[in-house]
């Protein structure tokens, strides 16, 4: 892909509306795990998909496996009910392709082949068994869907197994390992907590020996890890309740695990909104995570909401799609489907870009995304549009965004519609996720978009250009055409001067007609 296409600038030609992306516009995955059975249907921009449908049943297929070697009878009945429903739903939604996969419980159970045959006969679903090594690879690919170019170690915990996979950068998955460290398997160990901890220590040591280098980042995938992350958020009083890209230090993780050990589990469940079925696995998963953190010694731990299901979607993509930016592709898709003037975001970006001469690539992609998204919430009630913009940006299902970047993007879009944050339900605690200078910069970007959108509804650079002199503290608008001079009315001028005021600059207009 040409990263500097003359029409599209440094972010390349959009891929979401190409034939490859359209072919993936409705992909279904039925994931039969040891604890849950889930149907996910992906829809929208293929590189950063929206969840058209998402339903899970916590069946507990792997419960009691250590004692019996077979699927849990009650779980099997519940799973069949869910799979009959999912097959009918997928048919009604005309999902194609529909991928049905099963992991450790069905893979290892004595009656796994019998269960697969029953599913085929009753639903028509052909289950693909995912081996441990492949499960690790698919989970790593799911992480890559949200973090292009990610490097570190992916750790995916399910009900009956836990996998590790190495991400080497550039979309390359390295070594993979699987283990029996799933909470449902640990439940069946004899000898009490002491024996369980000894077993975990042996297994984690064996796993760590396969990955000699200390990982910079440990990516956590799986429902039990996410439940622990929610507890960490609760303990810290963290202001943004978005699990994807949530970052923790090893010390924070160990402090939260200590809190789990000392707390009433039912109280933690109520505070975090975690299901009873999930919470009963959390103390066991916490024991595994404690051993992992102590053995691997990562510098940072990050939560990924993307895992094996997203990895299966990633596997369907071409190389061009895989290497495109999920944030920019999703923003382009949102603009094309929801904005009043699709395509104006690109022109607006070029108009405001001179205000950010020192912005690197990471900052430019945020500015670009903000410009593409600047008008997608225009149908919201005017009294609440600024808040809706902020909420959409900070809580949207977007990949490739840190929590600080979410707040930056949300602030910029809030100020696109409102000059100040007064009179909104804006949570000031969120500002703690951004340095003060970034808060101001996001406000300036919002005011610049507010001015640019008011100045002209199409091709603003055809009629005027912005020039910023930081040393002289001068913001200059040059009106290049008679139409530009006609467009520069009283409201437009007020917004231009408000932008200059936010920048601490003197506002100057060149080419303005005398009034």
| CA distance linking residue 37 with residue 40, whole number of Å | 10
Q: How many CA atoms lie within 13 A of 427 on its CB side?
A: 14
Q: Are β-strands 173-179 and 151-157 bridged in parallel, bridged antiparallel, or unpaired? A: unpaired
Q: How many CA atoms lie within 13 A of 393 on its CB side?
A: 35
- For the segment 67-76, what is each residue's pLDDT rounded down to a tens digit? 899 999 999 9
| CA distance linking residue 183 with residue 260, whole number of Å | 15
Residue 7 confidence (pLDDT) above 50: no
What pLDDT, on a 0 to 100 scale, did the predictor assign at position 134? Answer: 94
What pLDDT, on a 0 to 100 scale, did the predictor assign at position 15? Answer: 44
Burial class (CB in 10 A: 0-12, 13-18, 19+), 409: buried
Which of 105-109, 313-317, 353-357 is the least confident region? 313-317
Quick one: tokens of 180?
Answer: 């029996």
The SS3 call for residue 218 is strand
- Map out the domains of the chain with their CATH numbers: 19-129 (3.30.420.40), 133-310 (3.30.420.150), 325-458 (1.10.3210.10)
Percent of the chain with pLDDT over 70: 93
Element (H, E) at 490: helix 490-502
Q: How confident is the model over 31-57, as a mean pLDDT?
A: 85
- For the segment 482-495, what is each residue's pLDDT rounded down to a tens digit? 999 999 999 999 99
Q: Could you tell me the end-to-end alpha-carbon distance of the chain, in angstroms, rounded to an integer?
A: 50
The SS3 call for residue 142 is helix
Residue 8 confidence (pLDDT) above 50: no
| CA distance linking residue 144 with residue 400, whole number of Å | 9
CB neighbours (10 Å) of residue 424? 14
Quick one: tokens of 351?
Answer: 């108009």
Do the beta carbons of residue 155 and residue 117 sit within 8 Å? no
CA 180 to chain CA centroid, nearest Å? 28
What pLDDT, on a 0 to 100 scale, did the predictor assign at position 108? Answer: 93
The pTM (predicted TM-score) of the whole model is 0.89
Residue 356 confidence (pLDDT) above 50: yes
Q: Cis omega (within 30 of 0) on the bond before 97? A: yes
Q: φ, ψ for residue 40 (rounded to 5)?
A: -125, 130
Predicted confidence band of residue 20 (pLDDT cuts 50, 70, 90):
low
Which of 234-243, 250-259, 318-327 is the least confident region? 318-327
């Amino acid at each position: 892909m040409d990263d500097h296409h003359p029409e599209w600038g440094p972010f390349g030609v959009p891929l979401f509306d190409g034939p490859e992306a359209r072919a993936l516009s409705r992909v279904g995955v039925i994931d039969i795990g040891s604890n849950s059975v889930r149907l996910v249907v992906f829809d929208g921009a293929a590189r950063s998909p929206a969840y058209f449908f998402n339903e899970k049943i916590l069946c507990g297929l792997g419960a009691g496996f250590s004692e019996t070697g077979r699927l849990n009878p009650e779980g099997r009945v519940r799973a069949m009910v869910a799979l009959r429903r999912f097959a009918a739903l997928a048919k009604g939604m005309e999902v194609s392709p529909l991928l049905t996969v099963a992991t450790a419980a069905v893979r290892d159970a004595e009656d796994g082949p019998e269960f697969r045959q029953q599913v085929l006969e009753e639903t028509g679903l052909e289950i693909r068994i995912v081996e441990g090594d492949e499960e690790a690879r698919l989970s790593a690919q799911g992480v890559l869907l949200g973090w292009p170019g990610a490097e570190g170690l992916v750790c995916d915990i399910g009900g009956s197994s836990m996998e590790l996979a190495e991400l080497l950068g550039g979309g390359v998955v390295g070594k993979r390992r699987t283990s029996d460290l799933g909470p449902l398997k640990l439940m069946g160990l004899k000898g009490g907590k002491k024996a369980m901890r000894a077993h975990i220590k042996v297994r984690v040591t064996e796993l760590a020996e396969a990955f000699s280098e200390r990982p910079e980042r440990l990516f956590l995938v799986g429902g039990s890890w996410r439940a622990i992350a929610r507890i960490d958020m609760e303990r810290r009083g963290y202001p943004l309740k978005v699990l994807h890209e949530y970052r923790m230090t090893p010390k924070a993780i160990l402090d939260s695990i200590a809190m789990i050990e000392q707390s009433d589990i039912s109280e933690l469940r109520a505070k975090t909104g975690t299901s009873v079925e999930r919470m009963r696995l959390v103390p066991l998963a916490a024991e595994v995570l404690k051993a992992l953190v102590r053995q691997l010694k990562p510098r940072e731990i990050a939560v990924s909401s993307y895992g094996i299901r997203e990895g299966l979607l990633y596997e369907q993509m071409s190389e061009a799609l895989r290497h495109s930016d999920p944030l920019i592709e999703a923003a382009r898709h949102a603009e094309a489907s929801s904005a009043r003037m699709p395509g104006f975001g690109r022109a607006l970006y070029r108009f405001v870009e001179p205000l950010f001469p020192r912005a690197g690539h990471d900052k430019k992609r945020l500015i670009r995304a903000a410009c593409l998204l600047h008008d997608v919430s225009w149908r919201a009630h005017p009294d609440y549009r600024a808040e809706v913009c902020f909420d959409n940006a900070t809580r949207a299902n977007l990949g490739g965004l840190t929590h600080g970047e979410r707040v930056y993007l949300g602030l910029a879009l809030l100020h696109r519609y409102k000059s100040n944050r007064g009179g909104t339900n804006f949570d000031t605690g969120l500002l703690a996720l951004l340095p003060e200078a970034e808060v101001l910069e996001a406000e300036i970007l919002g005011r610049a978009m507010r001015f640019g959108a008011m100045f002209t509804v199409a091709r603003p650079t055809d009629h005027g250009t912005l020039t910023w002199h930081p040393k002289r503290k001068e913001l200059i608008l040059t009106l290049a055409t008679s139409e530009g001079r006609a467009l520069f009315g009283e409201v437009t001028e007020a917004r231009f001067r408000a932008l200059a005021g936010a920048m601490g600059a003197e506002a100057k207009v060149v080419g303005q007609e005398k009034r």
